[in-house]
Amino acid sequence: MQEERLVELEIRSARQDDMLDTLNTLVYQQQKKINELEKLCAALATRLKEVASNAAQGPRVVDERPPHY
């Protein structure tokens, strides 16, 4: 009886260790993706500021009407 109980506890412990490893891997992958997305958001914010700054400087030659209008 004692040995069966001990074996069952060891099996539970092994399953929990495996689950913990799986969860750690998942959390690591999620953090990696979060870091990538934060970098992308920062790059997009910088680009948006550049575009807004360029738009505030006035119309570009491409945006001007041709002389025949």
Tokens of 40: 């992308």
pLDDT tens digits along 15-26: 999 999 999 999
| DSSP 3-state percent helix, strand, coil across the chain (nearest 5) | 85, 0, 15
Structure tokens at 41: 């958001």
**Domain ranges for the chain:** 2-53
pLDDT per position as a tens digit, 10-66: 999 999 999 999 999 999 999 999 999 999 999 999 999 999 888 888 666 666 777
pTM here is 0.65
Return the beta strands (E) in the chain as ranges: none
